[in-house]
Structure 1
Amino acid sequence: MEFYVYRISELASLVGLSRTALLYYEKLNLIAGKRLENGYRVYSDRDVQQIRLIQQLQAGGVTLAECKSCLESRLDKAVLRLRYDQLESEIKQKEQALSLLSSLLGDKSSKPWHETLSEIAPDAHIDWLKVQGFDEKQALRVKWLSKDMNEHDKYMQDFMTVFEPLESWGPNSQEDTSKAFTLLNRNPNNILEIGCGKGNSTIVIAKLSNANIIATDNETMALGKLEEKLELHCLKSKVTTQCVSMTELNFGDKQFDVIWSEASAYIMGIENALAKWKSLLKDRGALVFSDLVWLTDKPSKASVDHWKSDYPDIQSVDTRIAQIKKAGYILEHTFTVSEQAWKDYYEPLQQRLTDVASALGNSPKHCMIFKTR
């Protein structure tokens, strides 16, 4: 015998459901209310327990229709497995969403997210960083250096502590620069150097040529060091420095016989650089650039894993040559940078890291340097 003691409003309050939901439950025959002579609907304690059982099943992600099936017959484990797999996938997506929100809020590192964007949407990544308040210089540094907008200021402070006194900010040597200039086999009148840094290459090409050189970089401190070198070598009349981003070179079309870019074109992407800098060259002008590429068809997994995050656009020599030709250039020469160029960069850097390790405290984790062949 059933005792019908709960009106629909009382049942709704007891189980936390709306009147409409209860009527739908009754329509599905999940509960069985009784209408009194006065028109009120009443429910039993059995209905209360039935609803609570259904709520427990639904807490496992089971739909109301599946609950009905479970109540009327034995559990269909195939259905439950499907719901389990779907729920597991949803949980992973939610965890990823939580992780992203946490990184954007600054509660954890946003480095993995920035690394992913640099690989799959590099231009949109830079544009988004600008919207977040970074100027172009800062945005490029987030992309290539700190890779974490939440820790960027601290990273750059440590980075400059390490790199500011160093003569070379990338692998290069006088011999390699001289070799590349000799291979030009032309006497340029106007040279645009992009990403000159402290001017190691600038001094070499200024001494080797009679050209007027415009040396550009977006780091004022580096340009200041170049100005000092120009004064020392009596070359100020041949070289003009400009603090400008390589993505905003508004010099006009067909202005230069040669564009020179050692270890810097990667910043805006090699294919972008090839496309955007071409209009600056005169007819039969030449672009000279260096880039980090694979010198083997089978790089080690450790190397691949590292460069996937540090330079996701690293390519084979053949791929770069194909990109050069696709952009409308005729490849005249290519050669591998010397071992000395790497030594001139890494050996002072290693010594500098040793010198400042104690001053950086916990920061050296930001300054890990890898050498690959």
Structure 2
Amino acid sequence: MYRISQLAEKLGLSRTTLLYYEKLGLIKGQRLANGYRTYTERDVQRLTLLQNLQAGGLTLKECQACLDSKVERDMLVERLRLLDEEITHKQRARQLLAAMLGESSLTEWHQTLDQHAPEAHIDWLMKQGFDEKQAMRLKWLSKDMNTHDQYMADFMAVFNGLERWGPGSQADTLNALAQIPHTPHTILEIGCGRGIATQVLAAHTPATITATDNEEKALAALNDTLNAQGHGERITTVCANMADLPFAPESFDVIWSECSAYIMGVEAAFNAWRSLLQTDGILVLSDLVWREEAAQTLSESIDNDTRAFWQQEYPDMTTVAVRLAQAEAAGYRVIDHFALSDDAWLAYYGPFEARLEALQGELEGARAYADMQREIAAFHARHGAFDYQMFILQKR
């Protein structure tokens, strides 16, 4: 015979729990003349069985049903399904915590956050100690806060040796410039990089040009070039985030952005930059797009690796028709648009591939190097499936 305190100690349960079990009829204590409750070995064994059933994830009600009648198989099947879901959830939770501690990659987590909560993602990264520029680079390039510094060091080892940081050519820049219906007087170039387009604009317009980028070394190189060419007095460089430009509304009659608007999102750029344009001002930007026919049959026209690469690296990549609709919805009239020439692609990817080959011994095995190799492979597998498209738009 066991008193309630002895039973509680033996089973590792509280007195309150045992009284509750007795209320439910799971055990039946006998009250002695002195007022104490006593329990038998049968009660001990019944509660031991109950605890083992509970260990399988069954509720107390389900355990009682199992004790008093034949076990229902359907109930066990459903409980097993719920338990599997819980285990999967906990495994994911563990994987995330391990990744945040640097034990595995955070890439997928960052990509999911950026897709569903982009502004909160950037704000959170900045709270973790990344400045605004680092947070944007983490979003678009490294995609892993634990390995960001090494990734960017490897990435810049390649790009600091390149003049162009994206597809383009002087001929394509001049083609777009020729579509502007007035002589530009104040040009804002966003994402100028080392300033190849800046130099073309300076040489072929009388405009004062404000060239912005968030990479100080690129702007320093551009300043050196412009001073050597005698354009320094007409061109001002500003280190700034394209999503938070420090300029008054209606400050420019032309905004120019080659290969960079994707960083903040092209549709967002259409809306955010419009206020900086004067009445009837012109926005010129280039963006990577799927060709219409390819977009309709992606699985057939593009190999799996190429499709997977761009869906990961540029999930917002869409067609010309979608971009034109977005521009019109944002308050622009379409003046013209055209695909960049093959020369524009080769002007970027030729030196890029040569630079990677030159640094193979130094960078092979690095994640940044592997990502850049995948980009080169996607370029060679292009086969007309995607283009860089230049858009010339007028503020309505």
Query: TM over 0.5, yes or no?
Result: yes
Which residue in the other structure is 1:324 paired with?
Answer: 327
Matched position secondary structure for 2:334: coil
Are residues 1:137 and 2:133 paired? yes
Q: Once structures 1 and 2 are overlaid, which stretch shifts more, 126-135 or 253-262?
A: 126-135
Q: CA deviation at 1:179?
A: 0.9
Higher relative contact order (CA 8 A, sep 6+): 2
2:3 counterpart (2, 7, 13): 7
Partner Cα distance (1:345, 1:54) in 2: 70
Are residues 1:175 and 2:178 paired? no
Are residues 1:348 and 2:351 paired? yes
Cα RMSD after superposing both structures: 1.5
Which residue in the other structure is 1:369 paired with?
Answer: 374
Partner Cα distance (2:48, 2:341) in 1: 75
Are residues 1:54 and 2:59 paired? no
| 1:281-360 to 2 correspondences below 5 Å | 281-295=277-291, 296-297=294-295, 298-299=297-298, 300=302, 301-360=304-363
Which residue in the other structure is 1:66 paired with?
Answer: 62
Q: CA deviation at 1:305?
A: 2.4
Partner Cα distance (1:124, 1:172) in 2: 33
Which residue in the other structure is 2:261 paired with?
Answer: 265
Matched position secondary structure for 1:31: coil
**Matched AA of 2:166:** G
Partner Cα distance (1:366, 1:357) in 2: 13
Partner Cα distance (1:357, 1:7) in 2: 77
| 1:17-166 to 2 correspondences below 5 Å | 17-166=13-162
Number of aligned residue pairs: 369
Moved over 4 A (4+): none
Matched position secondary structure for 1:285: strand
Matched position secondary structure for 2:167: coil
Unaligned runs of 5+ in 2: 387-396
| Equivalent residues of 1:25, 1:31 under 8 A apart | yes
Partner Cα distance (1:99, 1:302) in 2: 26
**Matched AA of 2:344:** A
Q: CA deviation at 1:227?
A: 1.6
Q: CA deviation at 1:202?
A: 0.6
Q: CA deviation at 1:282?
A: 0.7
Partner Cα distance (1:57, 1:350) in 2: 63
1:187 counterpart (174, 178, 183): 183
Between the two proteins, what is the percent identity of the paired residues? 50
| Equivalent residues of 2:253, 2:282 under 8 A apart | yes
Which residue in the other structure is 2:389 paired with?
Answer: none
**Matched AA of 1:355:** A
Q: CA deviation at 1:231?
A: 2.8
Which residue in the other structure is 2:392 paired with?
Answer: none
**Matched AA of 1:303:** T
Partner Cα distance (2:275, 2:84) in 1: 53
Q: CA deviation at 1:366?
A: 4.9
1:238 counterpart (234, 237, 252): 234
| Equivalent residues of 1:119, 1:313 under 8 A apart | no
Partner Cα distance (2:24, 2:308) in 1: 56
Partner Cα distance (1:32, 1:179) in 2: 93
Q: Please list the CA deviations of residues 81-103 of structure 1 after superposition, one character each: whole Å capped at 9, or x if unmatched.
A: 11111111122222222222222
Are residues 1:221 and 2:229 paired? no
Partner Cα distance (2:7, 2:305) in 1: 63
Q: CA deviation at 1:315?
A: 1.2
Q: Please list the CA deviations of residues 48-104 of structure 1 after superposition, one character each: whole Å capped at 9, or x if unmatched.
A: 221121111111110111011111111111111111111111222222222222222
TM-score by length of 1: 0.95
Partner Cα distance (1:217, 1:334) in 2: 24
Q: Call closer, same or farther: CA 1:361–1:306 in 2, change over 3 Å.
A: closer
| Equivalent residues of 1:168, 1:200 under 8 A apart | yes
